[in-house]
Amino acid sequence: MFEEEFAKLPIESPRRMDSLPGLRLRGAIPKWALILPLFFISFFAFIPLSIMNSDPAMRLAMGPTESAQGRVVSNTNAGTCQGGAWHRVTYSFSSASGGQYRGTATLCAESPYYSVKEGDIIAVEFLSSNPTVNSLPGNGRNQAPPLAFFLIMPVFFLVIFGSLFWPQVGNVLRARRLFRNGRLATGQVIFVKKRLTSIWPGMPGSNASDVYIEFKSAGDGKREVVASCQNDWLINQLAPGALVHIAYSDDKTEKVALLDAYLR
């Protein structure tokens, strides 16, 4: 099949990828199969971003900040904290622009500001773009959680979905490498073994097949190799003895690229 098309391919490597349009990476995974993974990755990326945007400690940890002298307005009991008293400190400060602002902090006994009194001078850290987002530096209860904690979930799902899609992408990458730098040959189909590759539970998978091919390599006589093929139409044409076109390397590996599957 396709003798005229493959007769136009360059004999010597390296070969251009546009000689076989099916080797384009963007065609390795069906677009419909990316909808669900992209939804989950976007959703779990949005959650940490929304938390980071709403949590004052995170905003102070990530944005440009300034410091100013503040004054304690009040220090009152507000319940218990780890078995001890819990104080709520209210303070006021002025920004460089002259605006007056107030803030509050809840403090346990280990905080250096736990025993401050009304009128005491304290340091205040605030967000340069929005002084209403402020805190007392060194107050353990107001420290932001590690940024890596918020990145684990989207990365976790990215790894899962990446492992599901890697067989398809890996086949195309291998075929590209063999076609660019390997040798070309014509072989005969010995046997075709179908298998089902599921992209995601509950979703239809992509039909892939292992095509067993015999061909005569340069200087090594006849060899039997296995090529992966996801082209259902082509598989239905491959009766035993059918001629196919392959790309292979000289390292005698059994994996080759079935070029007929990448003609379009």
* Degrees, nearest 5: CA angle 88-90-96: 145
Q: What is the DSSP letter of 176?
A: H
Q: Is the peptide bond before 131 cis (omega within 30 degrees of 0)?
A: no
Q: Write the pLDDT tens digit of every residue in 139-194.
A: 655 555 555 666 676 677 777 777 777 777 778 888 888 888 888 889 999 999 88
Extended beta strands in the chain, E state: 65-81, 84-94, 100-107, 121-127, 130-135, 183-197, 206-217, 221-229, 243-248, 255-258
Query: Quick one: pLDDT at residue 252?
Result: 64
93, pLDDT greater than 90: yes
Query: Quick one: pLDDT at residue 188?
Result: 93
Name the residue with tokens 């736990």: 114
For the ranges 10-14, 27-31, 112-116, which has the lowest average pLDDT?
Answer: 27-31
Q: What is the mean pLDDT of residues 70-83?
A: 80
**All domains in the chain, ordered by first residue:** 3-29+165-262 (2.40.50), 56-143 (2.40.50)
242 with 189: CB under 8 angstroms? yes
Q: What is the DSSP letter of 143?
A: P
14, pLDDT greater than 60: yes
* Degrees, nearest 5: CA angle 54-92-132: 25
Percent of the chain with pLDDT over 70: 82
Round to whole Å and give the CA distance between 94 and 88: 20
Query: Quick one: pLDDT at residue 4?
Result: 75
Query: Quick one: pLDDT at residue 28?
Result: 65
126, pLDDT greater than 80: yes
Query: Quick one: pLDDT at residue 146?
Result: 56
User: Is 14 or 204 the better-scoring residue by pLDDT?
Assistant: 14
Q: What is the mean pLDDT of residues 216-228?
A: 83
Highest average pLDDT, of 26-40, 165-179, 195-209, comes from 165-179
Percent of the chain with pLDDT over 90: 16
Round to whole Å and give the CA distance between 168 and 163: 10
- Give the pLDDT band of residue 204 (cuts 50, 70, 90): very low
Round to whole Å and give the CA distance between 58 and 229: 49
- What is the residue type of 119? G
134, pLDDT greater than 50: yes
Could you give the C-alpha distances from 236 to 168, 175, 193, 212, 232, in angstroms and in order? 20, 21, 12, 14, 6
User: Is 228 or 196 the better-scoring residue by pLDDT?
Assistant: 228
For the ranges 2-16, 222-236, 239-253, which has the lowest average pLDDT?
Answer: 2-16
Residues 6+ apart with CB under 8 A from 146: none
Query: Quick one: pLDDT at residue 109?
Result: 79
Instruction: Retrieve residue 53's tokens.
Output: 């945007």
CA atoms within 13 A on the CB side of 105: 31
202, pLDDT greater than 50: no
Q: What is the mean pLDDT of residues 38-66?
A: 76
Candidates 90, 89, 87, 99; CA nearest to 127 is 99
Q: What is the mean pLDDT of residues 89-94?
A: 93
Helix axes 35-54, 147-181, angle to 10 degrees: 150
